[in-house]
Structure 1
Amino acid sequence: MAEIRDGFQSRLGFVLAAAGAAVGLGNIWGFPTQAANHGGGAFLLVYFLVIFLLALPALYTELYLGHSAQANPVKALQNACKERSKNMGAAAGYIGLSGAIVMLSFYSIVAGWMLAYSLDPIARFFELNELSKFLNSDSMLKNFIFTPFMLLLSASIILKGVKSGIEIWSRRLMPLLLILLIALTAYIATLEGAAEGFNAYLNPDFNQVLNPDLILAAMGQAFFSLSLGVGCMMIYGSYLKPDANLPKLTLSVAMLDTGVAFLAGLLIIPAIYVAQSHGVEVFQNGKLIGEGQLIFAVLPELFNSMGQIGLFIGFIFFVLMSIASITSTISSTEIPVAFLVENKSLSRQKSTWLVTLVIFIASSTIILNFDWLFGLVIKLFTQYQLPLMGLFYFITVGWLWRKGNKLLSVSKGLHYWFAQYIRYICPVLMTAVFANVAFK
């Protein structure tokens, strides 16, 4: 008898899990930096537009591939491409699978940093100065302590499956993330300098709206913000019930993810101006200083300048960042785990520990060669694999997949025009994103 495949039990559970996969450090870390460096409100306006022009169709396409196949990305792409080239579909699936491992190899390191920084205010509160110094250090030992911890945390959730692990923890962590984000934003809004930050963020300079660099930056951020191109949404789509309302669920996930990105901007950009009012240098040559410096230097310096309340605010902020990290790592870990369970007939327990071990080896390789390998891996993944895989998904649904592709079988109405949009317009937009990030 065939084993019954695990899946999401509720619409809310899926939306929170999928949004959790999308809501990562790119939203809370990357989006505000992009907005600050590209006209604030002008970037925000263009970002909302391209979410619907590019990211929403891309999200639907990836979910649709997984939902139609009711299988992991390797099987899903193999099935969709079988009329043209079954091997090509399988190869694309394996590339996505490898990408998930690569992403987790560096993302788990960064997630470990977030956890370490969340513990630092506790250490300083109890005047454990040596521990505080260690938690703020760039030491290899710190990486080898906190990276495995985050991997084990992800594994403990994945071990319980979709319904009892991913869905339950998403229902717990995502509301907590939203509460912390809103609470921090409300507090930052009361501080000196915040009003200038809100003004910079919410009032668009319409002279910049048509700036090509701003438009392409917004397109790239919108795509990456939804964690598209690695297979997270495909595997989550496969766990939906066959009769699920995919367009409605796609819209719900995109709106929640975009809402979190918007709230992150409401928190981070005013916080930048608050830091500036405290004498912290935040801009260099008219541009916000690097993202790493923003999170690990500017904001901690701001929290330090706030006295005892700053310890509490710093703790909450990095707990927030840790939650954003873990909701993303569990979705990416599920991709290779599902592959091993479905294609290699391994148990979920064996699959989870094997994947965790592989990721730990990959992470350890980066840690041991950090100076040259860390940035290179991130660049190859974000600037090449993600946009190219996103482009491949559009081409697969729009051109390669015929049999069983209900999207292309509609000959009239809104669905027909949406299918034509995916076939003709989205590949052009995705190519523009790739060209911008790969050759700039």
Structure 2
Amino acid sequence: MSDSTGTSAGAASTAGAPRHREQWSGQLGFVLAAVGSAVGLGNIWRFPGTAYDNGGGAFLIPYLVALATAGIPILWLDYSLGHRFRGGAPAAFRRLWRPSEALGWFQVGISVVIALYYTVIIAWAASYVVFAADQRWGDDPSGFLFGTHLQVADPGVGFDYVPGVLLPLIGVWIVTLLILAGGVQRGIERANLVMIPMLVVIFLAIVIRSVTLEGAADGLNAFFTPDWEALAHPDVWMAAYAQVFFSLSIAFGIMITYSSYLRRRDNLTTTGLVVGLGNSSFELLAGIGVFAAIGYMAGQAGIAVSDTSYQGIGLAFIAFPQILSTMPGGSVFGVLFFVSLLLAGMTSLISILQVVSAAFQDKFGWSARRGALSVGIPMAVVSCVLFGTTTGLYVLDVADKFVNEIGVLVSAIASAVLVGLVTRKLPELQAHLNNRVGIHVGAWWRWDVGLLVPVVLTAILVTGLIKLLDEGYDPATYTDQSLVRWIGWGTVVVCALIAGASMIPRWRHDPDAFIPEQLPDARPVTEGAAR
């Protein structure tokens, strides 16, 4: 077989063969990196609010069901694709089925868009580490965030730069690219080996302090008290699937890329279970810490916990500064809280950017350093231009909404349909998972990934699209929906354009010359062999 370069498979496998692919130093390095990718900002500020709004303690039931039927199975799908076909998303999908290379590049496009705005949130967290030391926000955290710090203008796209945002943003990009330039072991693995233990220790300290605050019990009661009637609403179940799906870093190339650096005989299924449960445990821990603190804040303000409505950016940069301003030792725990945000964001950002870097390393035969700098520097420039401004918050908000709730869902549905129905490769991938020490994957996995996951995710996607087309996005904020249309739908188009443009250049080495390892029986994988 030959590709567009005209290089034969035989030639590619000898003198023209690509250099040896990097590997993790061991299973622990991969687990820490994968957990670091999954545990991000959304675990801390998205899960608690989502759980509270969808049945409280009762939400844990659909959440665990979603984890078992979608989260872990799709993790295993990504692991099997990356590990069996030994490449980033574009190379892995091409080796699965040549026309599906476009889906791999679409996932790269999603990672590009997310990385552009994710860095600025980390830059805010870095700034707030300093602000927390002297509680610079004073008595008005909201006014400080939107006025003094971000200098937010009217919704739109403007180019009035905010030095207090732009300079930390540049710093985040420099640190991240230096880590990526070090490669898998010396860069990514070493960074996670330091940052993940630090994150766990710091966040445990924050949670312990939160649950000892006066009024913490009220917050925990609000968080865990089950509303069993909520389980009868389809929206609650869809919210659970969406939360699990978005929090595990699946379907936009991260786990495919990371698993491609595992050694041939490394465990896949048990590792996936550890990563999935580790991520969910951190989300639960975040919920406990957040609602204990909110209970304290509500008590100090003389209001009910139900009267607080903080989530996302408001939770991290408004509610917590309010809490820190009144609690004993607030400055110390404020620094620790924003350091935890910084660490959680950095470990996720590293994984997102590695998707992009690895894809171009595969395509052009670049080193880790060249890949990181060649794609990272242009992305850093675009990120600073768009998000270091007075309107960066609005661009971020709209882009995040559309790329996650449309782009990632489309990618996930396409992946499941492609592997399950178009190429019918699920038996082969199931056999690959089972050809290693670890949890045995039964035939249920094929039905789950090939049927249940596409149906559920399609329902979530269609419901979201209908609402967007009918009501628009946040009409109270965006009274003129032109920004939503241009930035929102534009992000999805940009992902598709990146996919199309990235397929045009020739591969440095023939990706089709790759031959996966033979399975134990050395015969083509059939339904019987897969069992």
After TM superposition, list the pairs within 5 Å mapping 1:34-433 onto structure 2: 34-82=50-98, 86=99, 89-124=100-135, 137-139=149-151, 140-279=162-301, 288-307=309-328, 309-367=329-387, 368=389, 369-370=391-392, 372-402=394-424, 406-407=428-429, 415-433=442-460
| CA displacement 1:229-257 (0-9 Å, x = unmatched) | 21111100111112222111111110111
Local SS of the residue matching 1:245: coil
Q: State the 1:403 CA deviation.
A: 6.4
User: Contact 1:36–1:269 at 8 Å: present in 2 too?
Assistant: no
Counterpart-to-counterpart distance in 1, 2:408 and 2:217? 36
Query: Which letter does structure 2 place at the counterpart of 1:90?
Result: E
From the superposition, tell whether residues 61 and 282 of structure 1 become closer, same or farther in structure 2 (CA, over 3 Å).
farther
| CA displacement 1:205-231 (0-9 Å, x = unmatched) | 222223222111111001001011211
- Aligned match of 2:464: 437
From the superposition, tell whether residues 296 and 52 of structure 1 become closer, same or farther in structure 2 (CA, over 3 Å).
same
User: Contact 1:151–1:360 at 8 Å: present in 2 too?
Assistant: yes
Q: State the 1:389 CA deviation.
A: 0.8
Q: State the 1:409 CA deviation.
A: 6.5
| CA displacement 1:315-364 (0-9 Å, x = unmatched) | 10000000000000000111111122221122322221122212212212
TM-score, length-normalised on structure 1? 0.91
Local SS of the residue matching 2:301: coil
From the superposition, tell whether residues 137 and 52 of structure 1 become closer, same or farther in structure 2 (CA, over 3 Å).
same
From the superposition, tell whether residues 371 and 25 of structure 1 become closer, same or farther in structure 2 (CA, over 3 Å).
closer
Counterpart-to-counterpart distance in 1, 2:78 and 2:428? 14
Counterpart-to-counterpart distance in 2, 1:160 and 1:3? 17
Q: State the 1:157 CA deviation.
A: 1.2
Query: Which letter does structure 1 place at the counterpart of 2:337?
Result: F
After TM superposition, list the pairs within 5 Å mapping 1:2-13 onto structure 2: 2-13=18-29
Counterpart-to-counterpart distance in 2, 1:235 and 1:80? 14
Q: State the 1:161 CA deviation.
A: 0.8
| Count of aligned pairs | 427
| CA displacement 1:77-135 (0-9 Å, x = unmatched) | 111122xxx2xx1211111111111001110011101111111123559x9xxxxx799
From the superposition, tell whether residues 405 and 334 of structure 1 become closer, same or farther in structure 2 (CA, over 3 Å).
farther
- Where do 5+ consecutive residues of structure 1 fail to align? 128-132
Q: Name the larger-Rg structure.
A: 2
Q: State the 1:178 CA deviation.
A: 1.1
2:31 is aligned, of 15, 29, 39, to 15
From the superposition, tell whether residues 218 and 282 of structure 1 become closer, same or farther in structure 2 (CA, over 3 Å).
farther
Q: State the 1:136 CA deviation.
A: 6.0
From the superposition, tell whether residues 28 and 347 of structure 1 become closer, same or farther in structure 2 (CA, over 3 Å).
same
Q: State the 1:158 CA deviation.
A: 0.8
Counterpart-to-counterpart distance in 1, 2:393 and 2:178? 31
Q: State the 1:395 CA deviation.
A: 1.4
TM-score, length-normalised on structure 2? 0.76
Local SS of the residue matching 2:230: coil
Local SS of the residue matching 1:259: helix
User: Contact 1:407–1:419 at 8 Å: present in 2 too?
Assistant: no
**Would you tell me which structure has more helix in proportion to its own residues?**
1
Query: Which letter does structure 2 place at the counterpart of 1:301?
Result: Q
User: Contact 1:184–1:313 at 8 Å: present in 2 too?
Assistant: yes
Q: Which runs of 4+ in 1 moved over 4 A?
A: 133-136, 280-284, 402-405
User: Contact 2:427–2:446 at 8 Å: present in 1 too?
Assistant: no
Query: Which letter does structure 2 place at the counterpart of 1:121?
Result: A
From the superposition, tell whether residues 79 and 149 of structure 1 become closer, same or farther in structure 2 (CA, over 3 Å).
same
Counterpart-to-counterpart distance in 1, 2:78 and 2:441? 19
Q: State the 1:5 CA deviation.
A: 0.8
Local SS of the residue matching 2:231: coil
- Where do 5+ consecutive residues of structure 2 fail to align? 1-14, 139-143, 152-161, 435-439, 468-531
User: Contact 1:398–1:408 at 8 Å: present in 2 too?
Assistant: no
User: Contact 1:341–1:347 at 8 Å: present in 2 too?
Assistant: yes
Query: Which letter does structure 1 place at the counterpart of 2:400?
Result: I
Query: Which letter does structure 1 place at the counterpart of 2:332?
Result: F
Q: State the 1:272 CA deviation.
A: 1.2
| CA displacement 1:378-424 (0-9 Å, x = unmatched) | 122111111111111211221233469623679x9952222122112
Aligned identity (percent) is: 27
Counterpart-to-counterpart distance in 1, 2:412 and 2:253? 10
Counterpart-to-counterpart distance in 1, 2:452 and 2:115? 31
From the superposition, tell whether residues 439 and 117 of structure 1 become closer, same or farther in structure 2 (CA, over 3 Å).
farther
Q: State the 1:280 CA deviation.
A: 7.8
Query: Which letter does structure 1 place at the counterpart of 2:456?
Result: L
Counterpart-to-counterpart distance in 2, 1:55 and 1:40? 20
Query: Which letter does structure 1 place at the counterpart of 2:132?
Result: P
User: Contact 1:57–1:422 at 8 Å: present in 2 too?
Assistant: yes
Query: Which letter does structure 2 place at the counterpart of 1:76?
Result: A
From the superposition, tell whether residues 42 and 391 of structure 1 become closer, same or farther in structure 2 (CA, over 3 Å).
same
User: Contact 1:216–1:436 at 8 Å: present in 2 too?
Assistant: no
Query: Which letter does structure 2 place at the counterpart of 1:326?
Result: M
Counterpart-to-counterpart distance in 1, 2:28 and 2:367? 28
Query: Which letter does structure 1 place at the counterpart of 2:383?
Result: S
Counterpart-to-counterpart distance in 1, 2:112 and 2:130? 27
Q: State the 1:290 CA deviation.
A: 4.2
C-alpha RMSD over aligned residues = 2.5
From the superposition, tell whether residues 68 and 32 of structure 1 become closer, same or farther in structure 2 (CA, over 3 Å).
same
